[in-house]
Amino acid sequence: GEERLTCDFAHSICLFIHAGLTDGSVVTQTPLLWVNQSQSTIMNCSHTDISYYQMYWYQQLPGQNMKLIVFTTTSPPFQYEDGFSKEKFPADRKDALSGSLTVKQLQPEDSGVYFCSVSQHSDEAE
């Protein structure tokens, strides 16, 4: 179904984190966060298949397409896409089954849907 997100509170940042399923591996995420402006927040993602060691974090702002923020493996350095920085969006990996994304100095324009996905390998040529 369609996810609808409305944020009406003054100076609050609304982040909805979408959970999913990948080839039978359950992916679990923080569900919904309300955060005050200028604060930081952390979003966690975990899954159940140790062979899926690559984790991707996406941002979808209202009325826009989904954009990849960062691609992580079990150890840094992580690969950030243009327009996203590790200073604003520091990612962390505890192990192959879990990771997190922090959003620092939250602003109203950060309100949106954040997705986590996992895979066994990247689509890039080796």
- Residue-range domains of the chain with CATH: 28-119 (2.60.40.10)
Distance CA 97, CA 48 (A): 6
Q: What's residue 57's pLDDT? A: 93
Q: Half-sphere exposure of 35 toward its Cβ, with a 13 Å CA cutoff?
A: 24
Tens of pLDDT, residue by residue over 44-62, are: 888 888 888 899 999 998 8
pLDDT by residue (tens digit) across 24-48?
A: 556 666 667 777 888 888 988 888 8
